[in-house]
Amino acid sequence: MRVLVTGASGMLGRGVATALSARGDDVTTFQRRPAGVPCARQVLGSVDDPAAVAAATADQDAVVHLAAKVSFAGDPADFERVNVEGTRLLLDAARSAGASRFVLVSSPSVAHTGTSIVGDGARTATPELARGSYARTKAAAELAALAADAPGFAVVAVRPHIVWGPGDTQLVQRVVDRAAAGRLPILDSGAALIDTTYVDNAVSAIVAALDRAEEVRGEAFVVTNGEPRPVAELIAGMCRAAGVAPPAWSVPGALARAAGAVVERLWAVRPGVDEPPMTRFLAEQLSTAHWFDLRRTREALRWEPAVSLDEGFARLATHYRAHEVA
């Protein structure tokens, strides 16, 4: 099968492209900077560039779309252009090119309204209630993608939750760096139960959705390890794997949410070079429960997470030890 994978310069996109190539698929990657996926053809460009999108989708049988603007802050127009308009452009180009399968990699945040999630499945995406520009535009993109499902063009959405693993710069390295600098608090008692997803499990779920797109078309599926843990325990596991002391101080969640609102206003006027230290969405994620019921995902995709959290932390520690030696 000829498969286009967008966003392959990121950890998850690279993992999906590598897995498909390793099993014998003819893989093309499409992203703004080189991805370095072995045996894959590469197209450089942005999903909001019609010419680049047309070149990337030409002669493809299927598309796995991971490229997105992912941030806690930024110009809302940038999120709209990349996440919503880019997805629509890719959908149109894929159909015109004759692709028959389209897997959108979405996020559980598309249905998160700021309160605890306790054992929910894949609720319908709600752009009007989603928290922040990223979640709002990903929700709109998911609705647009699922609405495009039609005979001869099977569309599936997969929502991996908090993906992490060796080489992760989006979550793990930021957690480690902020903990090492003493700038990472635990909110409340750190007891809120949250689901996360080891990267290999997210990869295998996305591949399963691609393979079964005709059977599960028009649906969205939440993907996690199925092992909810207290948020303080998860953060401590990442820190210890990197040889860094876990956070030893705490802040009330309500205070963090209030501080996040202030930071967001300041960031809108004078953004920093990295992610803001706190936002309302981030405070909610760190202080409220969010874990999911995977029964529909397991049944429909015929998929099970193969790497446990404890094994994932062991692999993460091995990665950091090897990095120290290098």
pTM of the predicted model, to two decimals?
Answer: 0.93
CB neighbour list of residue 76: distance below 8 Å, 6 or more residues apart: 133
Q: Please give the C-alpha separations between residue 214 and each of 1, 56, 240, in angstroms, as whole numbers.
A: 14, 23, 43
Q: pLDDT at position 221, please?
A: 97
User: Hey, what domains does the chain have and what are their CATH numbers?
Assistant: 2-163+196-224+292-307 (3.40.50.720)
Please tell me the predicted confidence (pLDDT) of residue 113. 73
Percentage of the chain beyond pLDDT 90 is: 64
Token readout for 78 is 């940038």
> Residue 285 has what pLDDT?
72
Instruction: Please choose, from the candidates 234, 242, 253, 230, the residue with its C-alpha nearest in 3D space to the C-alpha of residue 180.
Output: 242
Are the beta carbons of 112 and 130 closer than 8 angstroms? yes
Per-residue pLDDT, 1: 94
Catalytic residue ranges = 134
Q: Read off the tokens for 22.
A: 């390793």
Question: Nearest-5° angle of CA 86, CA 17, CA 301?
Answer: 85
State which residues of the chain have pLDDT below 70.
Answer: 73, 264, 266-278, 280, 325-326
pLDDT at 193: 94
pLDDT at 196: 95
At residue 198, the pLDDT reads 97
